Amino acid sequence: MTEGPVPRLSGALAQSRVPLPGTTNVRDLAGYPGCPGWMIGPHRLFRGEVLADADASEFQGLWDEQHRREFQGLGLRTVIDLRAEHEARRTPSVWRRATGADVVALPIAEGGEGTDTNYIRKLLSGEMPRFDEDHMTQFYCDTLDRRASTFASAIAVLADPQRLPALAHCSAGKDRTGLLVALVLELVGTPRALVVEDYTLTGVLRPNRIAAYTVLFTDAGVDPDAARVLFETPAASMVGALAHLDDTYGGVADYLVSAGSLPTQTVDALRNALLIPSDLK
C-alpha cells in the first residue's frame, strides 16, 4: 500500500476521459502518479466499457462505423475483455472491429450489472431485501479471492510492452474493470486515495445507472432503491477490498504472486511498461 497525500498534478483524473462517440466511460490513465518521480505514460493503459453494435442495447457503448477514425486513433494493440462467456455471446464486442486490436478474453463470471448475476436474481425474488455497501465490499473480496489467477493473467498481458497500448473492459467498466485497474495502480505505486477516486469516477461518468433497470424491479414489486448500490461505485467498497488484500495476503503484489501465481519479475515489468519519469509530462 502506498502512503501520503494524493498529488493533484494537472488534473489527470478529471482529464482522463476520452470522449469517443457512443461511449461514456473510456479513459486514458496517462498522468496518474506511480512511485515517486514516475507516472503512467500517455497511450499505455485505457479502461472502458463494452462496445457493441448500435442496435444491440442502450446500456452498452455503441459503435457506429462513421466514427472508426476516432477509435483507431487510440492506437490499441490489445483489448482485454473481462466479461463472462455468456455475456460475450449475448452482446458481442466490436472493439476488435473498431480498433483492429487483438482481443484477449479473460472471463470473470462475477459481474455487478445485468439480470444474469445472482444478486439481481436474489433482489428480484425477495431473497435479498437490499444490496448495500457491505454487500458490495464482500462481492469484491470474494471476486478477488476466486479470480486471482485471472487477474494475474491480465497483469501479465499489460506488463508486455508489445501489447500496449491496451484497453481493459467488462460490461460497464465498473466492477471487474475497476478491480483490475485498482490492482494495476497499486502495483505501480499510485497513492491509494487516487486508486479509490479513479474507481468512483465511473459513478460520475455513468450516473444513476439504476434508472435503466427501474422497470425490471418495479415489475417484480421491488423498490429500485434496494438495488441502487449494486449499480454505483461506493468508495468504501474499494477501500474495503484493498484492505482485504492487505490483511489476507500482505498487499496486492503478494496477493498476485501467492494466490495468482504471477512471477515476481512481472511486477517490475509492469512498472517498466507503464511508467515514465514525471518530468517528461
pLDDT tens profile 146-162: 999 999 999 999 999 99
Judge whether 267 and 156 are in contact, CB under 8 Å.
Answer: no
Distance between CA atoms of 6 and 204, rounded to whole angstroms? Answer: 19
For the segment 187-194, the average pLDDT, to the nearest whole number, is 96
Fold adopted by 27-280: Protein-Tyrosine Phosphatase; Chain A (3.90.190)
Q: Is the pLDDT of residue 204 over 60?
A: yes
- State residue 109's pLDDT score: 87
Number of other CB atoms surrounding residue 51 within 10 Å: 27
Q: Where are the alpha helices (DSSP H) in 41-117?
A: 68-72, 85-90, 95-99
Name the residue with higher pLDDT: 155 or 215. 155
Mean pLDDT, the chain, whole residue set: 89
Give the pLDDT band (50/70/90) at residue 212. confident
Judge whether 230 and 136 are in contact, CB under 8 Å.
Answer: yes
- State residue 2's pLDDT score: 39
Q: Where are the alpha helices (DSSP H) in the chain?
A: 68-72, 85-90, 95-99, 118-125, 133-146, 148-158, 176-188, 192-205, 214-219, 235-249, 252-258, 264-274
For the segment 169-192, the average pLDDT, to the nearest whole number, is 96
User: DSSP 3-state assignment of 274?
Assistant: helix
Burial of 206 (0-12, 13-18, 19+ CB in 10 A): buried
- State residue 20's pLDDT score: 92
- Which value, in Å, is the radius of gyration of the alpha carbons in the chain? 18
The amino acid at residue 15 is Q
What cell does 253 get? 503484489
Task: Dump pLDDT digits (tens) for 32-86.
Answer: 999 999 999 999 999 999 998 876 555 667 788 888 999 999 999 999 999 998 8
Torsion of CA 159, 22, 205, 73, to 10 degrees: 40
- State residue 247's pLDDT score: 98
Task: Dump pLDDT digits (tens) for 219-245.
Answer: 999 999 999 999 999 999 999 999 999
Name the residue with higher pLDDT: 208 or 29. 29
Distance between CA atoms of 247 and 238, rounded to whole angstroms? Answer: 14
Backbone angles phi, psi at 192, to 5 degrees: -60, -35
Q: Is the pLDDT of residue 218 over 70?
A: yes
Name the residue with higher pLDDT: 114 or 118. 118
For the segment 114-127, the average pLDDT, to the nearest whole number, is 76
Give the pLDDT band (50/70/90) at residue 261. very high
Give the pLDDT band (50/70/90) at residue 11. low
Q: Is the pLDDT of residue 114 over 50?
A: no
Burial of 37 (0-12, 13-18, 19+ CB in 10 A): exposed
The amino acid at residue 185 is L
